[in-house]
């Protein structure tokens, strides 16, 4: 018996009722046109996954129920599975609804709720108990829900909802004992580096170990602000492995992956599996008549060959580009503004906006891109408009110089911004700085100098730049992008209300050492379809500098702090691995033997002191994208007290072991 099945990813938005429903309807209609018999859609796609505390609102559940029932007429001769919240007796469950033959056949409830890192599902949902089933009576319907599987016209279907598949006690093993043919996994699983390969392995191994066909559908895009979903749609067959995989990081509203799967093969393989004794209760099976369209035995799947997994540099480029695109359209901003310094961080943002537009144009086509931007900007655009002209409307950049700014950074900023087609401005802030300094000297009745007032004189420059950037942003109805990166956030090497200004911090989740490596890759190699960006040489040849001290001081970020690759190593050990200063220092000596033990002790102490001192800054940073397991966002990932004992006891142990002659704190 052969079936044509599909998994679709959707770019949904929390509480966007008409938009979410429209995209679901479009996916169902496309599946029907492709003669799909069973369609899987992502977790909580009806409401959006990131509704947060609005999941407590009764009205949300009323709307969700009404819209779920409105989809029933679309499921004639089809089976559609999609994620919905389910409110029963004041308790809310994360469920997958099965719609077939214009009926709501049942709802399978999520059993394992994640409560770590980005996830707070137990705040809104109740976990379902394995083996438990109930009957929901509502609006004249009687709908079974809970730990259930489905016999749909002789084809058995079971569910694992996202986190259910990542735990040790998986529903898949119990479903296998129920002789299911298909296991469906509607997910809302965030992107992080390397996770695409992990998902492929999970789906392939799940299909193999249970001798089933396993369908996986993840969300797509920047759904709610911080999380990016790469949009995995995977179909694996027990014997054949991965048989179909969809496009990752798509700029379209939904993507569908179809495959023809042969149940005869998986049923034969299941008959050979050893019977596994288990004390866990099995899901209850719900029977529903369904007439499967007979497909010729000779019919082969038309699924495209599996694309190779992208490299980390490609993942970073695609993830942040898609994140920026969705943030732009969902925030209804008319473009972006970047305060371009000519350094690595601001240049990365300029290039990412450029690559975002190139990738959108590449996938959507110029006509569709123009149609979209016409709606965004509420203006007619000529059909033959160039990408350079679109870029000049989309991205505004500003270089704000003082007497401490060099010709090198001014030239680099202009080169990068003009090379991508941004509309670039240059503005001299020295008169404003002179006014602030003169006023303060008058009030204090003393001159300010760099020996006594170094930090204040540096910070006022960064803060004077902020109003100009915001002014430009407001004039154009745009979104100001903060240039701060994760390494700076860790040690507070950023001026609040200065270079941290912005509504979004796209680089806040990535370290400076990696950014510099990525920029060198873009200069020499770049994305396969776009190629290298040689103009980045003017950035890559520089040593990172804030350029806030007089030019004669030859200020350098790494002189102010420490080498970025060392900072990254200490940050990972201290924050992700929760290790103490002495242990970190001992490991650093093996890893960085070219640096003296005394210097490494100095770097370690400096990191811990700056980390503790600057938690208040991390609390105030603009939202950032989550890209890996090392994010420092205290609102959703890495919590630390604003006030603490500053690791004084632990640092004393470090000093005693290192025996330095002096440790600058």
Please give the pLDDT value at position 305. Answer: 59
Q: Is the pLDDT of residue 253 over 60?
A: yes
Identify the DSSP state of 146. Answer: E
Span 319-339, average pLDDT: 97
Give CB contacts under 8 A, 24+ apart, made by 170-173: 171/111, 171/130, 171/147, 171/283, 172/206, 172/209, 172/210, 173/210, 173/276, 173/278
**What's the pLDDT score for residue 339?**
97
Decide if pLDDT at 662 tops 70: no
Q: Residue 317 belongs to what H/E stretch?
A: helix 312-330
Predicted local distance difference test score (pLDDT) of residue 135: 96
Q: Supply the mean pLDDT for the chain.
A: 94
CA 231 to chain centre: 11
pLDDT, average across residues 569-592: 96
Q: Residues 321-350: what's their mean pLDDT?
A: 97
- Tell me the percentage of the chain whose pLDDT exceeds 70: 97
Provide mean pLDDT across the span 297-322.
81
Distances, alpha carbon 650 to alpha carbons 219, 457, 615, 653, in Å? 44, 33, 18, 5
Kindly state the DSSP code that residue 573 receives in the 8-state scheme: I
pLDDT value at 663 more than 50:
no
**163 vs 188: CA distance, rounded Å:** 9
376 vs 222, residue with greater confidence: 222
Please list, in sequence order, all residues whose beta carbon lies within 8 angstroms of the beta carbon of residue 442, skipping any fewer than 6 positions away.
Answer: none
pTM over 0.75: yes
For residue 89, give both structure tokens.
């007796």
Q: What is the pLDDT of residues 351-365, one digit of tens each?
A: 999 999 999 999 999
Q: What is the pLDDT of residues 256-286, one digit of tens each?
A: 999 999 999 999 999 888 866 566 788 899 9
DSSP 299: -
H-helix segments, 39-133: 58-70
Q: Give the model's pLDDT for residue 303.
A: 57
Q: H or E segment at 600?
A: helix 597-613
Residue 665 has pLDDT above 90, yes or no: no
Strands 79-88 and 91-100: antiparallel
Residue 486 CA to residue 506 CA, distance in Å, equals 10
What local confidence, expressed as pLDDT, does residue 239 receive? Answer: 85
Per the structure block, which two tokens stand in for 474? 């407001």
- The pLDDT assigned to 276 comes to 65
Residue 419 has pLDDT above 60, yes or no: yes
Provide the CA 127 distance to its chain's centre, in angstroms.
25
CB 120, CB 94: distance < 8 Å: no
Q: What is the pLDDT of residues 14-44, one digit of tens each?
A: 999 999 999 999 999 999 999 999 999 999 9
- Which tokens in the block code for residue 632? 């420092």
Does residue 643 surpass a pLDDT of 60? yes
- Determine the 3-state secondary structure of 151 from DSSP: strand
Maximum CA extent, the chain:
93
pLDDT above 80 for 522: yes
For residue 298, is pLDDT > 90? no
In the chain, the domains with their CATH numbers are 2-288 (3.60.110.10), 312-561 (3.40.50.620), 562-665 (3.40.50.620)
Residues 369-385 as b/e (b if ≥16 CB within 10 A, e otherwise) read bbeebeeeeeeeeeeee
3-state secondary structure (DSSP) of residue 104:
strand
Q: What is the dihedral of CA 464, 467, 472, 473, to 10 degrees?
A: 130
Task: Kindly report, residue by residue over 40-80, the tens digit of the pLDDT.
Answer: 999 999 999 999 999 999 999 999 999 999 999 999 999 99
Helix axis angle for 387-394 and 366-377, nearest 10°, is 30
Helix axes 312-330, 512-524, angle to 10 degrees: 100
Residue 418's CB: how many other CB atoms inside 10 A? Answer: 14
CA distances, 151 to each of 79, 94, 291, 572 (Å): 12, 22, 12, 49
Over range 414-432, report the average pLDDT.
Answer: 97
pLDDT (0 to 100) of residue 171: 93
CA nearest to 483, candidates 537, 416, 550, 541: 416
Q: How is residue 274 annotated by DSSP?
A: P
Q: What's the whole-number mean pLDDT along residues 307-336?
A: 94
Is the pLDDT reported for residue 302 higher than 70?
A: no
């Amino acid at each position: 018996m052969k079936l044509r099945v599909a998994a679709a990813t959707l770019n949904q938005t929390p509480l966007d009722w008409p938009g979410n429903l429209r995209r679901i309807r479009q996916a169902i209609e496309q599946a029907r046109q492709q003669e799909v018999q069973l369609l899987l859609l992502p977790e909580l796609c009806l409401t959006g996954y990131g509704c947060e505390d609005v999941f407590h609102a009764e009205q949300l559940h009323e709307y969700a129920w009404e819209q779920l029932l409105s989809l029933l007429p679309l499921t004639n001769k089809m089976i559609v599975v999609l994620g919905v919240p389910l409110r029963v007796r004041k308790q809310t469950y994360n469920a997958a609804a099965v719609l077939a033959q214009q009926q709501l056949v049942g709802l399978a409830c999520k059993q394992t709720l994640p409560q770590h890192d980005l996830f707070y599902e137990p705040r809104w949902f109740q976990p379902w108990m394995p083996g438990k089933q109930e009957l929901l009576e509502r609006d004249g319907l009687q709908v079974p829900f809970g730990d259930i599987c489905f016999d749909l016209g002789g084809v058995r279907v079971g569910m694992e909802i996202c986190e259910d598949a990542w735990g040790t006690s998986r529903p898949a093993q119990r479903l296998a004992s129920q002789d299911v043919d298909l296991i469906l996994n509607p997910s809302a699983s965030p992107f992080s580096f390397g996770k695409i390969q992990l998902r492929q392995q999970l789906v392939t191994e799940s299909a193999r170990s249970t001798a089933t066909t396993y369908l996986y559908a993840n969300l797509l895009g920047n759904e709610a602000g911080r999380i990016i979903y790469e949009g995995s749609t995977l179909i694996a067959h027990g014997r054949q492995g991965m048989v179909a995989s969809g496009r990752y990081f798509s700029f379209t509203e939904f993507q569908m992956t179809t495959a023809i799967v042969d149940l005869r093969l998986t049923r034969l393989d299941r008959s050979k599996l050893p019977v596994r004794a288990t004390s866990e209760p099995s899901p209850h099976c719900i029977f529903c008549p369904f007439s499967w369209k007979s497909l010729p035995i000779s019919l082969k799947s038309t699924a495209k060959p599996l694309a190779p997994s992208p490299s980390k540099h490609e993942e970073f480029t695609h993830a942040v580009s898609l994140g920026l695109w969705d943030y732009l359209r969902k925030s209804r901003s008319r473009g972006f503004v970047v305060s371009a310094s000519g350094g690595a961080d601001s240049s990365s943002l300029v290039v990412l906006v450029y690559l975002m537009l190139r990738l959108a144009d590449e996938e959507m086509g110029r006509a569709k891109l123009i149609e979209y931007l016409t709606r965004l900007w509420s203006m007619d655009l000529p059909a033959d408009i160039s990408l350079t002209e679109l870029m000049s409307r989309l991205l505004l950049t500003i270089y704000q110089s003082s007497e401490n700014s060099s010709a090198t950074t001014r030239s680099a900023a202009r080169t990068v911004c003009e090379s991508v087609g941004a509309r670039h401005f240059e503005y001299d802030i020295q008169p404003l700085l002179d006014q602030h300094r003169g006023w303060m000297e008058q009030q204090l009745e003393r001159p300010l100098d760099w020996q006594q007032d170094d930090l204040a004189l540096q910070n006022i420059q960064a803060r004077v730049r902020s109003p100009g950037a915001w002014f430009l942003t407001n004039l154009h109805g745009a979104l100001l992008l903060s240039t701060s990166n994760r390494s700076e956030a860790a040690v507070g090497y950023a001026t609040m209300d200065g270079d941290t200004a912005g509504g979004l911090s796209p680089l806040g989740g990535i370290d400076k050492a990696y950014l510099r490596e990525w920029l060198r890759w873009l200069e020499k190699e770049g994305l396969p379809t776009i190629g290298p960006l040689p103009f980045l040489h003017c950035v890559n040849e520089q040593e990172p500098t804030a350029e806030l001290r007089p030019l004669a001081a030859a200020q350098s970020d790494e002189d102010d702090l420490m080498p970025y690759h060392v900072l990254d190593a200490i940050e990972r050990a201290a924050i992700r691995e929760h290790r103490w200063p002495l242990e970190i220092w001992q490991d650093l000596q093996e890893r960085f033997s070219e640096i003296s033990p005394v210097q490494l002790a100095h770097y370690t102490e400096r990191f811990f002191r700056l980390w503790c001192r600057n938690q208040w800054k991390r609390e105030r940073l603009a939202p950032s994208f989550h890209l890996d397991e090392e994010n420092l966002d205290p609102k959703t990932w890495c919590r630390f007290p604003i006030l603490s004992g500053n690791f004084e006891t632990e640092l004393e142990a470090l000093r005693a072991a290192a025996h330095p002659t002096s440790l600058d704190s």
